């Protein structure tokens, strides 16, 4: 047993900290420790200052970023181009899947990451291979030599470059000031911000204007003339910024003389005009007091940075800025008129709208530190690319060209153009075919894919679904290749067009719902014209849609002859606006009889617009399961599908009650002919089909069996009466059978051999029609006393077997036909007719049994009579007769008469 002092020492050793390992020391000797730089804004309004803390961590302050996907992470790469960034790796486990608003972070590198292997620190979305923002790392020795305002490397859309004049920044640890970063920020309106940084040593101020507006809007900011507080807009010195139609930013010095557009009157300008207009083009250098530094559009936000001299040489049109006192400033947002043949320059329109929203003025002191901009601007419409809406009969011209405004940087140098627009957003409608004329070169193969970066994902160990196109769809203007793609209801809402040979050359395809009639091959109105039913058959599955034609809380359709014992599909939208589609088995008329099922439904959607509920789904024709009730919900396209409908005020997933009962329902089912694309209302037995059934009963239930019975049991009648009866009954039965077949074919517009009734019927008809042909080619009957040849024997057996097989198949066709009518109409009349047919067949069978018994009995009597009277010379008529021709039926038998032979006895002595 250990002594207490020993235990105390052992416990002390355990509590003492272990010697730090190399990883725990965080590699404090890294040359990057203390490095600090701004994050380059590429997408998602990223801002922030990155500082390397030590060998295994870094910090970010003032961090802004709009939320991305769940796969956004801190990323390390060897360079900031597409190839290096895509080959990079995750360097931290910290997720970046939310919006950040002026936050401070400390990030620890993962154990496998090292600053020695990282040249670019980026915010990377692995799902779309997208760069949100990054920092190019420099060594400590460079900290003392580089100090400049640098545009974001690799930024797209392409920004206006900064001028070639380094800024004098005292803090040399700050390697690169990004043009999106400022020391002050003021919120002018919910969608417009003013940023600025003073540079007193150079007698200038850098101003940044950013607004969540479209590219066709201008952003204006400036100083009011001193002493003009009542009308600050007049005689004010403003800078108007914006973007040309080519996406090039501009910043122009304006002077306002009148509340109107810039107009020329008597060779003089008035209104909101550039300073150069007032003094002429010869004085541009003297009156233009604004110099563009940088500009870009990203995420639906316009951003322009420009430099303004605090004191200008232009004393007539520029207001001097005193940074030590409050001054009145004005701002405005509005539409920008593009140049035309009469006005070859961009002009701002009247801002319109209310004050504090599209224009205003306030007092501002540039020296007072201000930052009330919390978080990034978030535009409602972040898609800033050109939109092309595909039309059915107009081909889309696909070419390739240089990248200027690619929406998902980093990008290759060459990207796809559609109708001369760089990587536009393409919008297509389900059910409307789209034609591409591919002229992008032999090294660009167009395809539609689920992969957001393209370039044949299978080569990069990624999965994708290819909806159209491939390696063969490449061409040049002299020999274009056409690709036709028809998006259907199973196509996702968003796919991508790309090149199969290189990543990130294309962009998004928005797949929107067209009319349901475009999306589905067939449609019918159900009973009472209150619900429309749409469907498209595919191999092994069916896509279904149902739309109520009046306002309701839910729409339900059911497969069955009535509510009881039917399968129902219910679509509704809950209180949160989420659509649902559930399936049920109904075996009663109360809420407790509605049982949820777990059918394998895919591509399920439900929506409600103006109170009209529409739901869609895809399901297999035959469920791949066993045992459960939903496994019996089989759809046979060759059999009419009985469809009913119901609508009500509300529905819920659980705890159904009387409140969920329907308020409107169909009066009777509609039989939907899936293959024909039509429907018919449930009704009593249709007259044409009734005639078909009656004629087939007469043929197969009376005439044809009667002909066989006459040949079997009436040969004992003298002459050829039995033969005539046999032939007339058979030919009459065949004629009525063929006529009944024409009635059914005309009514149903064709046959589907998958039905049991059709299979039996066709078999019976073929066998019946073969009998007259068989009788025509029969071998000749042998003469009296001759042995029958083998051909004659084979023919007799074949004739008997085919005839009886035809009767069996015909009876089976009658029974299966009645069963099919019962499934089709479900009426009590059909059930009564079915039982009547069965009783008739049983009666005929009993008659045959009785006749066979009498035949056997007669044969026994004949044999007994022959044994007792043969010496008298009695002979019977030969029953081997001709079956078709009357002249062959006359027996020319050389025999003795049927009377008693006369025997003469003579004396022996004679």
- pLDDT value at 656 more than 90: no
pLDDT confidence of residue 284: 54
Report the pLDDT value the prediction gives residue 896, as an integer from 0 to 100: 40
Tell me: the pLDDT tens digits for 173-222?
445 789 999 999 999 999 999 999 999 888 999 999 999 999 889 999 99
> Angle at CA 120, nearest 5°, toward 117 and 124?
110
Q: pLDDT of 518-534, one tens digit each?
A: 888 899 989 888 899 99
| Long-range pairs, 112-117, Cβ under 8 A, ≥24 | 113/76, 113/89, 114/27, 114/55, 115/27, 115/30, 115/32, 115/52, 115/55, 116/30, 117/76
End-to-end Cα, the chain, rounded Å: 156
Run of H or E including 847: helix 828-869
Token digits for 3? Answer: 């002594």
CA distance linking residue 350 with residue 218, whole number of Å: 11
pLDDT at residue 902 greater than cutoff 80: no
Average per-residue pLDDT for the chain = 82
DSSP 153: T
pLDDT tens profile 22-45:
455 565 568 888 899 999 999 999
Q: How confident is the model at residue 130 (pLDDT cuts 50, 70, 90)?
A: very high
Q: Is 446 helix (H, G, I), strand (E, B) or coil?
A: strand
Tell me: the pLDDT tens digits for 66-79? 999 999 999 999 99
Q: How far is CA 269 from CA 318, 344, 440, in A?
A: 17, 15, 48
Query: How far is residue 309's CA from residue 461's CA, in Å, rounded to a whole number?
Result: 55
Lowest-pLDDT range, 146-150, 313-317, 462-466? 146-150
Taking residues 757-763, report their average pLDDT: 84
- What pLDDT band is residue 141 in, cutting at 50, 70 and 90? very low
Question: 710-731 pLDDT, tens per residue?
Answer: 887 887 777 777 778 888 888 8
Neighbours of 14 (CB within 10 A): 7
Closest to 662 measured CA to CA, from 803, 568, 785, 521: 568
Q: State yes or no: pLDDT of 683 exceeds 70.
A: no
CB 50 within 8 A of CB 39: yes
State the maximum Cα–Cα separation within the chain, in Å, rounded to a whole number. Answer: 182
Pairwise CA distance, residues 614 & 603, whole Å: 14
What is the CA angle 873-874-876, rounded to 5? 135
Secondary structure letter of residue 476 according to DSSP: B
Separation CA 406–CA 156 (nearest Å): 6
Which pLDDT belongs to residue 497?
97
Mean pLDDT for the stretch of residues 240-266: 88
Residue of higher predicted confidence among 145 and 668? 668
- The pLDDT assigned to 874 comes to 38
Answer yes or no: is pLDDT of 883 > 50: no
How many alpha carbons fall within 13 Å on the CB side of residue 380?
4
DSSP per-residue string spanning 208-234: EEEES--TTEEEEEEEPPTT-SSSTTT
- How many other C-beta atoms lie within 10 A of the C-beta of residue 105? 15
Distance CA 17, CA 462 (A): 46
Section 611-638 average pLDDT: 90
pLDDT score, position 751: 61
CA gap 797, 801 in Å, rounded: 6
**For a pLDDT cut of 90, what percent of the chain falls above it?**
40
Cβ partners under 8 Å of residue 459, min gap 6: none
What is the pLDDT, as a whole number, of residue 900? 44
pTM beyond cutoff 0.75: no
If you average pLDDT over residues 402-416, what whole number do you get?
A: 93
**Can you tell me the distance from the alpha carbon of 650 to that of 670, in angstroms, rounded to the nearest whole number?**
25
- CA separation for the pair 570, 577 (Å, rounded): 16
pLDDT: which is higher, 831 or 304: 304
Cβ(788)–Cβ(782) below 8 Å: yes
Angle 662-663-665 from CA coordinates, rounded to 5°: 70
Which has more confidence, 681 or 265? Answer: 265
Encoding tokens for residue 127? 């799902």
Nearest to 674 by CA among 722, 626, 637, 699: 637
More confident residue, 15 or 288: 288
Q: How do beta strands 507-512 and 425-429 pair?
A: parallel
pLDDT tens digits, 825-848: 555 567 777 788 888 888 888 888
Place of tokens 């972070």: 105
Asked whether 74 and 91 are in contact (CB, 8 A), the reply is yes
* Confidence category of residue 895, pLDDT binned at 50, 70, 90: very low
The pairing of beta strand 434-438 with beta strand 396-402: parallel
- Whether 326 contacts 363, CB under 8 Å: yes
- Confidence at residue 162, expressed as pLDDT on a 0 to 100 scale: 45
Per cent of the chain over pLDDT 70 is: 83
């Amino acid at each position: 047993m250990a002594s207490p002092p020993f235990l105390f020492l052992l416990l002390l050793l355990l509590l003492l900290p272990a010697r730090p390992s190399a990883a725990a020391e965080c590699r404090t000797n890294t040359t990057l420790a203390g490095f600090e730089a701004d994050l380059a804004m590429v997408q998602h309004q990223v801002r922030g200052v990155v500082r390397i803390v030590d060998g295994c961590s870094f910090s970010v302050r003032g961090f802004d970023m709009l939320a991305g996907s769940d796969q956004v992470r801190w990323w390390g790469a060897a360079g900031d181009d597409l190839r290096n960034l895509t080959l990079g790796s995750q360097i931290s486990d910290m997720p970046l899947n939310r919006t950040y608003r002026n936050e401070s972070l400390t990030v620890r590198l993962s154990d496998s990451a090292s600053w020695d292997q990282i040249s670019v620190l980026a915010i990377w979305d692995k799902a779309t291979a997208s760069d949100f923002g990054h920092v190019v790392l420099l060594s400590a020795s460079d900290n003392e030599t580089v100090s400049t305002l640098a545009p974001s490397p690799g930024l797209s859309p392409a920004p206006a470059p900064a001028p070639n004049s380094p800024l004098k920044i005292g803090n040399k640890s700050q390697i690169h000031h990004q043009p999106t970063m400022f020391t002050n920020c003021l919120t002018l309106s919910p969608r417009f911000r003013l940023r600025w940084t003073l540079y007193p040593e150079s007698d200038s101020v850098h101003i940044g204007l950013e607004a969540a507006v479209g590219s066709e809007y201008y952003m204006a900011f400036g100083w009011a003339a001193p002493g003009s507080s009542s009308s600050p807009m007049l005689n004010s010195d403003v800078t108007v910024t914006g973007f040309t139609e080519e996406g090039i930013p501009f910043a122009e010095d304006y002077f306002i003389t009148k509340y109107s557009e810039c107009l020329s009157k008597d060779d003089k300008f008035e209104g909101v005009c550039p300073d150069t207009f007032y003094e002429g083009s010869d004085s541009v250098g003297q009156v233009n007091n604004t110099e563009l530094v940088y500009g870009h559009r990203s995420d639906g936000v316009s951003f322009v940075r420009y430099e303004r001299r605090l004191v200008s040489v232009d004393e007539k049109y520029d207001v001097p800025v005193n940074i030590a006192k409050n001054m009145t400033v004005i701002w405005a947002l509005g539409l920008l008129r593009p140049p035309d043949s009469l006005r070859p320059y961009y002009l701002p329109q009247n801002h319109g709208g209310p004050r504090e929203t599209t224009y205003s003025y306030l007092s501002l002191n540039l020296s007072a530190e201000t930052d009330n901009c919390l978080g990034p601007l978030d535009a409602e419409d972040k898609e800033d690319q050109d939109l092309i809406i595909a039309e059915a009969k107009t081909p889309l011209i696909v070419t390739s060209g240089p990248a200027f405004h690619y929406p998902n940087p980093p990008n290759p140098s060459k990207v796809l153009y559609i109708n001369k627009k760089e990587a536009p957003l393409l919008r297509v409608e389900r059910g409307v075919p789209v034609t591409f004329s591919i002229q992008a070169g032999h090294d660009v193969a167009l395809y539609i894919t689920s992969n957001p970066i393209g370039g044949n994902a299978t080569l990069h160990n990624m999965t994708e679904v290819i909806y159209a196109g491939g390696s063969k769809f490449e061409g040049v203007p002299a020999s274009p290749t056409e690709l036709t793609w028809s998006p259907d209801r199973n196509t996702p809402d968003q796919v991508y067009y790309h090149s199969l040979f290189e990543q990130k050359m294309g962009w998004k395809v928005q797949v929107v719902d067209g009319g349901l009639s475009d999306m589905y091959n067939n449609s019918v109105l159900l009973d009472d014209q209150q619900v429309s039913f749409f469907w498209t058959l595919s191999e092994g599955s069916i896509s279904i849609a149902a739309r109520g034609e009046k306002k309701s809380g839910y729409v339900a359709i059911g497969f069955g002859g009535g509510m009881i014992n039917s399968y129902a599909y219910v679509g509704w939208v809950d209180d949160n606006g989420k659509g649902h589609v559930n399936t049920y088995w109904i075996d009663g008329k109360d809420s407790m009889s509605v049982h949820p099922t777990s059918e394998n439904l895919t591509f399920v959607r439900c929506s409600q617009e103006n109170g009209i509920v529409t739901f869609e789904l895809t399901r297999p024709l035959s469920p791949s399961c066993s045992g459960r009730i939903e496994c019996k919900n089989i759809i046979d396209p060759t059999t009419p599908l009985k469809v009913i409908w119901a609508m009500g005020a509300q529905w819920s997933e659980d705890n159904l009650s009387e409140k969920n009962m329907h308020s409107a329902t169909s009066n009777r089912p509609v039989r939907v002919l899936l293959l024909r694309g039509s429907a018919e209302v449930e009704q009593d037995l249709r007259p044409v089909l009734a005639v078909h059934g009656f004629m087939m009963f007469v043929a197969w239930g009376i005439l044809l069996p009667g002909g066989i019975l006459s040949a079997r049991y009436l040969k004992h009648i003298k002459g050829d009466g039995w033969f005539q009866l046999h032939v007339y009954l058979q030919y009459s039965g065949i004629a009525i059978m063929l006529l009944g077949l024409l009635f059914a074919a005309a009514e149903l517009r064709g046959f589907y051999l998958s039905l049991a009734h059709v299979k039996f019927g066709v078999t019976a008809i073929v066998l019946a029609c073969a009998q007259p042909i068989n009788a025509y080619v029969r071998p000749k009957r042998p003469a009296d006393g001759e042995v029958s040849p083998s051909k004659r024997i084979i023919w007799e057996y074949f004739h008997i077997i085919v005839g009886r097989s035809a009767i069996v198949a015909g009876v089976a066709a009658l029974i299966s036909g009645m069963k099919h009518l019962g499934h089709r109409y479900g009426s009590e009349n059909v059930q009564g007719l079915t039982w009547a047919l069965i009783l008739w067949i049983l009666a005929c069978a009993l008659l045959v049994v009785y006749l066979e018994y009498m035949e056997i009995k007669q044969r026994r009597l004949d044999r007994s009579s022959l044994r007792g009277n043969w010496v008298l010379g009695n002979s019977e008529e030969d029953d081997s007769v001709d079956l078709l021709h009357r002249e062959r039926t006359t027996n020319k038998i050389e025999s003795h008469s049927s009377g008693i032979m006369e025997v003469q006895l003579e004396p022996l002595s004679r």
